[in-house]
């Protein structure tokens, strides 16, 4: 008997596992971005404190449809994601597991989809079908092979095997093109846009709706004749007269309007059902099968944001004619797309909260050709000689970056011209791409990118005092005022930026050109100075040494330490080793920095007290990259906290709550 | 621009902690004279310039620099219609962040009305009650306390602390000689025809009566 019971339990659990959906597999592989939040992890790490308010503040549910639809009206909210996060149990949502958000853009629609595990399907369904919005606005429920769909113009809600799918349309309504539009001439595009907006079948604003309602009221009631006979032409008076005699007439008119909207919606759902049925099911081509996504999704991360092929969207930004070309070429065949450099690119950001440590990671993957070029760019190593220009005694923060700028620019050049090559240009714009190419070809790239931009080191190490002047007043014996110029000492962080010189001849040429600007005065043959002014509260020195350009506000370094600091004054050896072993490194000695701010700008203000509070809680922030391999460029960062016995999420929430 | 923006233009200065607000009255008779207000933020100009590039700062809307000058212009125009007010002059030094307005008044009553007019222009949302800032009676000139819900008090206390170093100075010049003053911090000039009082903004925030003064004239 006992063994039978165990067998039954096992069978039930196998069935349960067999039937429950893998949320990842429900996300299409062409999603623009995917965000995964492991609520289970965050719940256990937050120490009972409310972290959801920060997630809620990132959710924007009130998108407007600026072009079509209900004339700037906000759509009726069938479901609020913020409410779900606030009261998950009221919605039957299991907010103790992983949830996903993804964006999908297609020819027919674009919008975000939220995927949640359900703890109670029927509670969720009831909540969706009995709220105010579903009572007053058109919505349709439909049973499909892949679960139930509840659809309004703004939302498509799916319920399938214990999973809630909430699609939020980017626009206030689905604007499906009428048949025959495809045959339109390109030159008619603007007219078409106008016509479409004001087409009586698609355009619905409050006036139109009122007219429809009035029409229904008129035709549906014999009272119309009576009212008409009374000689009144005022619509509102007429409606009032109707309501007095037949109070339900408006309700009936509203109901008819809702039925009419549902009729329209039903037509749309026929067109869209195919698409939305598939969102409810696991797919063979899902994001789970994407190599780049799989790489980051295996470690039970707290939060993941994954951008799928961002070049497609970057392309729209980088191509200044994308809006114009999209309008003109709606139905024009595009040139065959070449995507050697711009395809198979993804960017991912991963965030994890550990004991006393916040860890984040970025993973950028590239296609083969792009990777080859970038690998070559990042083969360049940091220069140990530049470290001598930074005094290490009071080091509070530094950033070191080394890569072959020419190679990186070469990569972006290829990407950009590939994007332009794949874009459609009207006959009026056809000469613009070669003009850009010509302009680019004429630039002296050796001077711009081969002189001093490969090896960079920036550091903040202490504070220096600078004298600045200001206007004030002095008073004579009779308190008559006189405007005078006074001086005061201000403290500014001591900063140094070192740029390694790769081409001495070009560096000298650049230095001579910059020296000619009126903002600079020559202090030495190789030192120029931009004095503190009303726009810049510090003196800025530019020094050209044998191997570097130095930009600093530190007069001692600029004038007396041009060969660098002695070894015992430089950055500590361990730190140097760390800097030299990565192309990119950054470290902020957070406690040291905040303490220095506190000491140098003493104040009783609340802000300064908060800074002190932060300073006592934060440790160092470290950021570095890894060697490029397997088509990946990975950077990692950690923020350590002084309390290493508690989870960092709980500590940070406590800190934020105090601020 | 909202009153809040104007009130909180001042807290912007607290990062550098230094500005001067100077209120001057030079009497030509017992009742008539010249009134002058100066806001000098020259010491903080670099930071102000940077802060004003932001749309908001610490949750407050920030005005553009030209809006401050425009506001002075608006105030000047409004004062032209005020009874007993003449010779209105205003200056904006946007490089040094020094703003000044000066006008002649024919009586203390009209001066009070003019100052209330300015306050009303800037308090469309949160109406301020009518207040007499100055009084002259029985040979005494009085600088009265502004209501406790004054602009400065409306700001958050922890923000006010950032005004360290900022001062408000009042200077009153008379044709008669000054016999005595009620405020112990006030200083009488050598010629005994003027009185100066300088107070810290941080102290005024909690105790606006620090600017109160009754000046007894001979």
Q: What percent of chain A has pLDDT over 70?
A: 75
Instruction: For residues A510 and A497, give the distance between their C-alpha atoms in angstroms, rounded to a whole number.
Output: 17
Lowest mean pLDDT among A291-300, A406-415, B9-18: B9-18
Instruction: For residues B108 and B83, give the distance between their C-alpha atoms in angstroms, rounded to a whole number.
Output: 12
Burial state string for A361-384 with b = 16 or more CB within 10 A and e = fewer than 16: bbbbbbbebbbebbbbbbebebbe
Instruction: For residues A403 and A412, give the distance between their C-alpha atoms in angstroms, rounded to a whole number.
Output: 14
User: What pLDDT score does A56 carry?
Assistant: 82
Instruction: For residues A410 and A413, give the distance between their C-alpha atoms in angstroms, rounded to a whole number.
Output: 5
Lowest mean pLDDT among A230-239, A449-458, A484-493, B88-97: A230-239
For chain A, say whether B96 makes contact (Cβ under 8 Å).
Answer: yes
B-chain CB neighbours of A603 within 8 Å are: 17, 161-162, 164
User: What pLDDT score does A527 carry?
Assistant: 96
Strand partners, B103: B35
**What does DSSP say about strands A632-641 and A357-365: parallel, antiparallel, or unpaired?**
antiparallel
For chain A, say whether B20 makes contact (Cβ under 8 Å).
Answer: yes
With beta carbons less than 8 A apart as the criterion, state whether A619 and A659 touch: no
Instruction: For residues B111 and B158, give the distance between their C-alpha atoms in angstroms, rounded to a whole number.
Output: 34
**What does DSSP say about strands B194-200 and B167-173: parallel, antiparallel, or unpaired?**
antiparallel
Instruction: For residues A538 and A535, give the distance between their C-alpha atoms in angstroms, rounded to a whole number.
Output: 9
At A279 the three-state DSSP class reads helix
Instruction: For residues B162 and A460, give the distance between their C-alpha atoms in angstroms, rounded to a whole number.
Output: 25
For chain A, say whether B42 makes contact (Cβ under 8 Å).
Answer: yes
With beta carbons less than 8 A apart as the criterion, state whether B34 and B103 touch: yes
Beta-carbon separation of B196 and A475 below 8 A: yes
Token pair 């500014």 in the structure block, residue? A492
Lowest mean pLDDT among A236-240, A426-430, A519-523, A616-620: A236-240
Q: Say how many CA atoms lie within 13 Å of A573 toward its Cβ.
A: 2
Beta-carbon separation of B191 and A488 below 8 A: no
Instruction: For residues A229 and A245, give the distance between their C-alpha atoms in angstroms, rounded to a whole number.
Output: 16
pLDDT digits (tens, 9 = 90+) for B130-185: 788 899 988 899 998 765 545 555 555 656 666 777 889 999 999 999 999 999 99
Contacts of residue A36, Cβ cutoff 8 Å, sequence gap at least 6: A98, A99, A100, A101, A297, A301, A303, A304, A306
For chain A, say whether B76 makes contact (Cβ under 8 Å).
Answer: no
Token pair 């070029």 in the structure block, residue? A373
ipTM: 0.78
Lowest mean pLDDT among A270-274, A287-291, A584-588: A270-274
Strand partners, B85: B105
For A605, which of B20, B95, B162 is closest by C-beta distance? Answer: B162
A18: Cα separation from own chain's centroid: 36
Secondary structure string (H, E, C) spanning A350-386: EEEEEECEEEEEEEEECCHHHHHHHHHHCCCCCCHHH
Q: Which of A589-598, B58-67, B196-205 has the highest mean pLDDT?
A: B196-205
Instruction: For residues A112 and A27, give the distance between their C-alpha atoms in angstroms, rounded to a whole number.
Output: 11
**What does DSSP say about strands B20-27 and B167-173: parallel, antiparallel, or unpaired?**
parallel
User: What pLDDT score does A358 carry?
Assistant: 95
Beta-carbon separation of B43 and A603 below 8 A: no
Higher pLDDT, A378 or A280: A378
Residues of A with CB under 8 A from a CB of B: 468, 470-473, 475, 477-479, 481, 488, 534-537, 603-607, 609
With beta carbons less than 8 A apart as the criterion, state whether B168 and B209 touch: no
Beta-carbon separation of B190 and A606 below 8 A: no
Beta-carbon separation of A481 and B96 below 8 A: no
For B196, which of A479, A488, A607 is closest by C-beta distance? Answer: A479
Q: Which helix (H) or strand (E) is A257 found in, with range?
A: helix A249-279
Instruction: For residues B48 and B14, give the distance between their C-alpha atoms in angstroms, rounded to a whole number.
Output: 10
Query: How far lies A377's CA from each of A314, A406, A412, B216, in Å?
Result: 21, 8, 12, 81
For chain A, say whether B59 makes contact (Cβ under 8 Å).
Answer: no
pLDDT digits (tens, 9 = 90+) for A361-405: 999 999 999 999 999 999 999 999 999 999 998 899 999 999 999
Find the residue in B nearest to A469 (Cα): B43
- What burial class does residue A605 get, using C-beta atoms within 10 Å of its C-beta: 0-12 exposed, 13-18 middle, 19+ buried? buried
At A307 the three-state DSSP class reads strand
With beta carbons less than 8 A apart as the criterion, state whether A495 and A460 touch: yes
| Residue A648 phi, psi (nearest 5) | -60, -30
Higher pLDDT, A218 or A427: A427
With beta carbons less than 8 A apart as the criterion, state whether B60 and B8 touch: yes
For chain A, say whether B19 makes contact (Cβ under 8 Å).
Answer: no
For chain A, say whether B95 makes contact (Cβ under 8 Å).
Answer: yes
A597: which 2 tokens? 């701010």
Domain locations in chain B as residue ranges? 3-217
Beta-carbon separation of B162 and A472 below 8 A: no
Instruction: For residues A108 and A39, give the distance between their C-alpha atoms in angstroms, rounded to a whole number.
Output: 32
CA distance A487 to chain B (A): 9
- pLDDT classification of A250: cutoffs 50, 70, 90: low
Per the prediction, chain A carries an average pLDDT of 80
Instruction: For residues A3 and A362, give the distance between their C-alpha atoms in angstroms, rounded to a whole number.
Output: 50
Instruction: For residues A546 and A525, give the distance between their C-alpha atoms in angstroms, rounded to a whole number.
Output: 13
Beta-carbon separation of A477 and B189 below 8 A: yes
Closest CA to A620 of A599, A657, A593: A593
User: What pLDDT score does B155 carry?
Assistant: 57
CA distance B175 to chain A (A): 12
B-chain CB neighbours of A606 within 8 Å are: 156-159, 161-162
**What does DSSP say about strands B194-200 and B187-188: parallel, antiparallel, or unpaired?**
antiparallel
User: What pLDDT score does A190 carry?
Assistant: 37
B-chain CB neighbours of A477 within 8 Å are: 189-191
A588: which 2 tokens? 């902020």
For A471, which of B49, B96, B193 is closest by C-beta distance? Answer: B96
Q: What is the DSSP letter of A336?
A: P
Q: Give the distance between the most distant pair of CA atoms in chain A.
A: 109
User: What pLDDT score does A569 carry?
Assistant: 93
CA distance A403 to chain B (A): 32
Number of CB pairs < 8 Å for A and B?
68
With beta carbons less than 8 A apart as the criterion, state whether A130 and A78 touch: no
For chain A, say whether B210 makes contact (Cβ under 8 Å).
Answer: no
For A537, which of B46, B157, B164 is closest by C-beta distance? Answer: B46
Beta-carbon separation of A473 and B164 below 8 A: no
């Amino acid at each position: 008997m006992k063994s039978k019971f165990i067998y039954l339990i096992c069978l039930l659990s196998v069935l349960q596992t067999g039937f429950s959906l893998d949320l990842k597999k429900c996300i299409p592989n062409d999603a623009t971005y995917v965000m995964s939040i492991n609520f289970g992890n965050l719940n256990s790490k937050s120490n009972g404190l409310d972290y959801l308010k920060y997630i809620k503040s990132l959710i924007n549910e009130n998108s407007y449809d600026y072009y079509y639809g209900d004339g700037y009206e906000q759509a009726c909210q069938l479901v609020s994601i913020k409410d779900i996060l606030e009261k998950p149990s009221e919605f039957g949502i299991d907010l103790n597991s992983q949830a996903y958000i993804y964006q999908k853009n297609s020819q027919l629609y674009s919008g975000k989809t939220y995927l949640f595990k359900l703890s109670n399907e029927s509670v969720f369904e009831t909540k969706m079908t009995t709220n105010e919005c579903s009572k007053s606005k058109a919505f349709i429920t439909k049973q499909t092979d892949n679960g139930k769909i509840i659809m309004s113009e703004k939302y498509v809600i799916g319920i399938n095997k214990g999973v809630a799918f909430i699609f939020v349309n980017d626009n206030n309504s689905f604007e499906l093109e009428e048949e025959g539009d495809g045959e339109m001439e390109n030159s008619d595009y603007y007219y078409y846009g106008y016509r479409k907006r004001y087409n009586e079948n698609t355009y619905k604003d409050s006036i139109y709706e009122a007219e429809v309602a009035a029409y229904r009221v008129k035709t549906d009631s014999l009272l119309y004749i009576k009212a008409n006979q009374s000689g009144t032409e005022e619509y509102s008076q007429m409606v009032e007269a109707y309501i007095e005699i037949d109070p339900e007439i408006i309700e009936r008119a509203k109901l008819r309007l809702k039925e009419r909207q549902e009729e329209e919606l039903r037509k749309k759902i026929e067109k869209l059902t195919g698409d939305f049925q598939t969102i409810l099911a696991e797919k063979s081509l899902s994001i789970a099968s994407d190599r780049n996504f799989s790489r980051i999704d295996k470690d039970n991360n707290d939060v993941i944001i994954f951008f799928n092929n961002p070049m497609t969207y970057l392309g729209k930004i980088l191509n200044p004619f994308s809006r114009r070309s999209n309008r003109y070429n709606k139905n024009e065949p595009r040139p065959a797309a070449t995507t050697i450099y711009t395809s198979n690119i993804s960017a991912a950001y991963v965030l994890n909260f550990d004991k006393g440590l916040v860890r984040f990671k970025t993973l950028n993957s590239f296609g083969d050709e792009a990777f080859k070029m970038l690998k070559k760019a990042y083969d360049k190593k940091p220069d140990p000689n530049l470290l001598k220009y930074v005094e290490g005694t009071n080091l509070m923060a530094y950033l070191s970056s080394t890569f072959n700028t020419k190679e990186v620019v070469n990569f972006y050049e290829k990407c950009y011209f590939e994007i332009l090559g794949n874009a459609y240009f009207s006959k009026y714009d056809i000469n613009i791409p070669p003009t850009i190419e010509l302009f680019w070809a004429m630039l002296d790239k050796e001077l711009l990118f081969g002189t001093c931009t490969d090896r960079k080191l920036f550091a903040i190490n202490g504070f220096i005092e600078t004298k600045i002047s200001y206007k004030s007043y002095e008073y004579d014996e009779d308190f008559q005022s006189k405007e005078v110029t006074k001086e005061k000492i201000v403290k500014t962080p001591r900063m140094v930026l070192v740029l390694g010189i790769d081409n001495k001849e070009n560096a000298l040429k650049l230095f001579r050109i910059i020296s000619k600007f009126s903002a600079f005065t020559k202090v030495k043959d190789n030192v120029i100075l931009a004095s503190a002014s009303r726009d810049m509260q510090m003196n800025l020195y530019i020094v050209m040494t044998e191997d570097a350009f130095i930009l600093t506000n530190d007069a001692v370094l600029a004038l007396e330490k041009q060969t660098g600091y002695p070894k015992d004054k430089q950055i500590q050896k361990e730190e140097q080793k760390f800097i030299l072993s990565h192309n990119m490194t950054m470290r902020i000695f957070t406690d040291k920095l905040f303490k220095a701010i506190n000491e140098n700008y003493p104040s009783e203000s609340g802000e300064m007290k908060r800074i002190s509070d932060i300073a006592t809680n934060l440790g160092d922030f470290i950021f570095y990259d890894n060697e490029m391999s397997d088509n990946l460029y990975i950077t990692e960062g950690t923020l350590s906290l002084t309390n290493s016995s508690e989870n960092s999420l709980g500590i940070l929430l406590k800190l934020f709550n105090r601020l | 621009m909202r009153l809040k923006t104007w009130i909180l233009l001042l807290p912007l200065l607290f990062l550098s902690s230094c500005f001067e607000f100077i209120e001057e009255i030079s009497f030509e008779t017992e009742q008539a004279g010249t009134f002058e207000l100066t806001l000098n933020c020259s010491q903080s100009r670099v930071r102000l310039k940077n802060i004003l590039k932001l749309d908001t700062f610490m949750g407050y809307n920030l005005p553009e620099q030209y809006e401050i000058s425009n506001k002075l212009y608006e105030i000047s125009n409004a004062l032209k219609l005020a009874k007993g007010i003449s010779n209105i002059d205003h200056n904006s030094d946007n490089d040094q962040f020094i703003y000044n307005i000066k006008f002649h008044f024919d009586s203390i009553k009209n001066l009070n009305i003019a100052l209330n007019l300015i306050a009303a222009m800037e308090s469309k949302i949160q109406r301020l009650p009518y207040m007499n800032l100055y009084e002259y009676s029985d040979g005494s000139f009085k600088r009265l306390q502004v209501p406790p819900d004054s602009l400065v008090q409306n700001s958050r206390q922890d923000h006010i602390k950032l005004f360290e170093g900022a001062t408000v100075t009042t200077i009153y010049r008379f044709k008669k000689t000054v016999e005595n003053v009620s405020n112990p911090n006030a200083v009488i000039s050598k010629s005994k025809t003027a009185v100066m009082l300088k107070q810290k903004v941080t102290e005024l925030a909690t105790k606006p009566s620090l600017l109160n003064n009754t000046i007894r004239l001979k």
